[in-house]
Amino acid sequence: MGKKGEVKLLVDGKRTDGRKLDEIRPLKMVIGVLDNADGSAYVEWGNNKAYAGVFGPRECFPKFLANPYKAILRVHYNMSAFSTKHERMRPGPGRRSMELSEVITNVFENVIQLEKFPNTAIDVHVELVQADGGTRCTAINAVSLALADAGIPMKDLVQAVSIGKIDGQLALDLNGDEDNYGEADMPIALANRNGDILLLQMDGLLTKEEINTAMGMAGEACKKIYEAQREALIKRYEV
């Protein structure tokens, strides 16, 4: 495996998968895919494939975790052992999946109206059966739809995308190689209505100007993701 900066990620302005710099990968969204969940969604984003299932609001176990003022939210993010191309994932929860579970929980604690369901728990499981860069964003887009499918009241639908820097240029929605060998990666989640920032992480190096431009590009991408979410919801619920 090469080091960062050693692999050519842009040839004649085109990326390794043929995309333009401001182009997101093809998106497929299907709602209501798991019979045993109260709400569910499947999202395919490029080579990422994610299933999200929502269970609840339901009685909270263990009981001492119950909050008399609001529901507790627990999001469990997992990458399947067979999900990656290069090496077999170590199965089970590791530090990375625990961090991502926490980060995704924080995103949705700010949009779900948890106070409507005191003393209950809302459990969300998101399983990445295929992973190729940007899985936390794929997971957030899928969870957003699964929560809507479960009829959980939210202030807004959430969209997420990562924006990074490859061969010195800003690029939307990094794939696995771009994430590995690029110079920066900044995943962002936004609330659809007012663009509130619900998640902002970054590794690598970006200038202040690049961050400003990146935020604008992410906003435009999130509008496209919202349209795909809206279409998936209409398809599921049209009569």
Q: How far apart are the first and last CA of the chain?
A: 51
Q: Taking a C-beta distance cutoff of 8 angstroms, is the pair 144, 171 a contact?
A: no
Query: Is 28 or 235 the residue whose CB approaches ligand ADP more closely?
Result: 28
Q: Give me the residues paired with residue 166 across strands.
A: 169
Closest alpha carbon to 178 in 128, 132, 112: 132
Query: Is 71 or 126 the residue whose CB approaches ligand ADP more closely?
Result: 126
Q: Taking a C-beta distance cutoff of 8 angstroms, is the pair 24, 172 a contact?
A: yes
The reply to whether 179 sits near ligand ADP by the rule CB under 6 A is yes
Binding residue for ligand ADP (CB under 6 A) from 71, 103, 131, 157?
131
Q: Provide, rounded to whole angstroms, the least separation between the CB of residue 131 and ligand ADP.
A: 4
Q: Taking a C-beta distance cutoff of 8 angstroms, is the pair 190, 98 a contact?
A: no
The reply to whether 176 sits near ligand ADP by the rule CB under 6 A is yes
Q: How far apart are CA 227 and CA 82, in angstroms?
A: 31
Return the residues of window 3-32 that contact ligand ADP according to CB under 6 A: none
Query: Is 188 or 191 the residue whose CB approaches ligand ADP more closely?
Result: 188
The reply to whether 84 sits near ligand ADP by the rule CB under 6 A is yes
Binding residues for ligand ADP (CB under 6 A):
84, 86-87, 89, 96, 131-136, 176, 179, 187
